[in-house]
Amino acid sequence: MKKAQKILSESKKYRIDVGLSNLAAVKGEGCYLIDVDGKKYLDFHSNVSTNNIGYGNPEVKEVVREYSKKGIYKVDGTLTILEEALVLAKKLSKHLPKNLRKSFFVNSGAEAVENAMKLAYLKKGPLGGVSVKGAFHGRTIGVLSYTSSKAIQKKFFPVLPHHELDFCGEKGYCNFRELEDLISRELTPAFVIIECVQGEGGYRPLSKEFVKYLRKITKEHDIAFIIDEVQAGMGRTGKWWAFEHYNVVPDIMATGKSLQVGATIAGKKYDMAKQERGALGSTWGGGHVIDLAVGAKVIEIIEKKNLVKNAERMGDYMLKHFKEIQLKYPRKIIDVRGKGLMIGVEIDSVKRRKKIIDGAFKNGLLLLGCGEKTIRIAPPLIIDGETADKGIEMIEKLIKKY
């Protein structure tokens, strides 16, 4: 840890400290990251689902190698026609419903959500929007209004007019009149935005009935229904997109992370062709050419290796094991939930969760919290049973210890 600690110490002198971890990674292999001191870590959060195909994939390395020879890396994708953007858009469209065909590429998931909101505003005007309590949609100022997974994320910043619906999960009471009551009491909102499985809010799946209710009401009142697939998309939940578990189709979708770029995706109803040019824009238009090319390769690898199916299979396997551990330690684990390889293990206290995460790091396992006291389980989609068992066994030992 000598080199890692030195880098961390120096970083605190020159970088704004937003909570830097002790991991100084330099390379990756499969489901493992390796730090500057040569220590291997089994990654159980995939850099917050950004590395769904794992690390060190030879096909991805070849793409990067080839593009490094071209001398063109960062180009404004709205000023320049990029074939890489076309290829990525076409590959994405293969895995989307017919009404979601046109993609707008940006740099990040937060930008993708921002532009999804803009498309809704351009159709309805600058009205308020509706989100769900516990949501996380990004940290840029506009979209931050609809983020509420932690109070610290937004309490110091201005907010747009908005309303937060009560969270409605697979267990407990749900208010199936709240959106209708809001519409009858106030103006019809410009959009409703949800994560079908909340990410930073605690890996909490929404109730199927609730999502169908929101889709029904948004259709009846011509409200844009936006689904945020930034963390849950690209096969993470055992389907290409989390909304496929709910038998609904959004009007607009945002994705990112594993795609390597952000993407706002919409159909004809929200096509910008009828709007004035310049009404929608972005910072560089997702124009990092290498990222666009790698994103297309990631889709190919997920297809070729059947990783969506593997996420479903291994997700069922891991969820079953964590529920068995919960039965052994019911006072320490208060809930286990999730879809595919997007599993939340909720611990009884923040203090115990910290001990487990810190203990895992010391033993070469990378865990990350979400929600108030949940541990997210989101390994790369390439994970196999033997590798999964290593992480599961270590987590059980730490739960038993602490």
| Token pair recorded at residue 22 | 């002790």
Residue closest to 199 by CA, chosen among 128, 148, 154 = 148
| pTM recorded for the entire structure | 0.95
Mean pLDDT of the region 48-62: 97
- State the pLDDT confidence band at 269, using cuts at 50, 70 and 90: confident
* 3-class state of residue 182 by DSSP: helix
Residue 276, pLDDT score: 65
What the chain holds in terms of domains, given with CATH numbers, is: 2-56+306-401 (3.90.1150.10), 72-304 (3.40.640.10)
| Token pair recorded at residue 362 | 């010391």
**Alpha carbon of 128 to those of 214, 218, 220, 233: distances in Å?**
16, 14, 18, 26
Q: pLDDT for 236-266, tens place per residue?
A: 999 999 999 999 999 999 999 999 999 999 9
Q: pLDDT for 301-324, tens place per residue?
A: 999 999 999 999 999 999 999 999
| Token pair recorded at residue 191 | 């959009």
DSSP 104-144: EEESSHHHHHHHHHHHHHHHH-S--EEEETT----SSHHHH
Question: Which residues, in sequence order, are CB contacts of 154 under 8 Å at separation 6+?
Answer: 144, 145, 147, 148
Residue closest to 47 by CA, chosen among 69, 32, 65 = 32
Q: pLDDT for 92-129, tens place per residue?
A: 999 999 999 899 999 999 999 999 999 999 999 999 99
Contacts 24+ apart (CB under 8 A), 210-216: 210/168, 210/174, 210/176, 211/243, 211/246, 211/248, 212/246, 212/247, 212/248, 213/176, 213/179, 214/179, 215/248, 215/249
Residue 355, pLDDT score: 98
